């Protein structure tokens, strides 16, 4: 009786095991190009802080709040700081720009749309932060050895684009690169050429003399 029961259970277990293997390796492989389906995705988030203002600018207490917020947010290169101030108080903008300048950030023109309205006697500081990532990486969905369509593995590109998204200083550059001013500074463009031309040849002083006297075995 025990042998019969074992045989009855063996068949369903074998079928289940076969279905599991088929699910692991049966991923559709349709990308027959050398272009990666995995690409960096750039996401943008806005963080806001409302500050109380006066006609002469930001009170000292509010300046300390703003500086503490910048520290907490780890304000850094690539972040965009803008001001939503309905009164267009230049003193307020100067105070905010001075504090942002301590972190190497310039106040940008224009402000993104944020939830809620700025109350009277207040100014809203907005930090726009952009991040880059590659969704669904790593992708080990295709584990079978068979590749009837000679297609590219779904994990292809994860390492390259994942590292690119992690290392780029300003993720906005992945969407649109830095724009030049259109001006060419001659002294800068020719600096490398002049340095190359003025460098003395390495053999100008002749060959170095080497004594073979007293050499070891």
Per-residue model confidence as pLDDT tens digits over 55-94: 999 999 999 999 999 999 999 988 999 999 878 889 999 9
pTM over 0.85: no
Are 111 and 101 in contact by the 8 Å Cβ rule? The answer is no
Mean pLDDT of the 13-42 span: 63
Q: What is the sign of the dihedral through the CA atoms of 95, 97, 98 and 103?
A: positive
pLDDT at 24 exceeding the cut of 60: no
**132 bridge partner residues:** 42
pLDDT at 22 exceeding the cut of 60: no
pLDDT in tens, 111-170: 888 888 888 889 999 999 999 999 999 988 888 878 888 888 888 999 999 999 999 988
Predicted confidence band of residue 181 (pLDDT cuts 50, 70, 90): low
pLDDT in tens, 35-47: 888 889 999 999 9
pLDDT at 1 exceeding the cut of 70: no
Rounded (10°) CA dihedral 74, 90, 124, 51: 80
Six token digits for residue 31: 């990308």
Predicted confidence band of residue 25 (pLDDT cuts 50, 70, 90): very low
Range of lowest pLDDT (18-22, 152-156, 199-203): 18-22
């Amino acid at each position: 009786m025990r042998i019969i029961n074992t045989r009855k259970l063996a068949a369903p277990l074998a079928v289940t095991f076969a279905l599991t293997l088929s699910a692991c390796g049966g991923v559709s492989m349709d990308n027959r190009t050398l272009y990666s389906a995995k690409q960096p995705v750039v996401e943008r988030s806005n963080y806001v802080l409302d500050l109380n203002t006066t006609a002469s600018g930001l009170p000292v207490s509010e300046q300390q709040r703003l500086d503490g917020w910048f520290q907490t947010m780890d304000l850094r290169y690539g972040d965009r700081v803008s001001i939503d101030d309905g009164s267009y108080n230049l003193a307020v903008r100067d105070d905010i720009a001075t504090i942002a300048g301590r972190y190497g950030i310039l106040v940008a023109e224009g402000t993104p749309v944020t939830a809620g309205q700025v109350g009277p006697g207040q100014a809203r500081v907005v930090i726009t932060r952009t991040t880059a990532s590659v969704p669904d990486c790593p992708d080990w969905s295709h584990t079978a050895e068979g590749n009837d369509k000679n297609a590219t593995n779904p994990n292809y590109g994860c390492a390259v684009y994942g590292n690119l998204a992690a290392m780029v200083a300003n993720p906005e550059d992945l969407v649109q690169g830095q724009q030049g001013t259109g001006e060419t500074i001659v002294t800068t463009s020719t600096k490398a050429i002049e340095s190359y031309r003025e460098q003395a040849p390495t053999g100008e002083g002749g060959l170095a003399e080497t004594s073979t006297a007293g050499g070891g075995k």
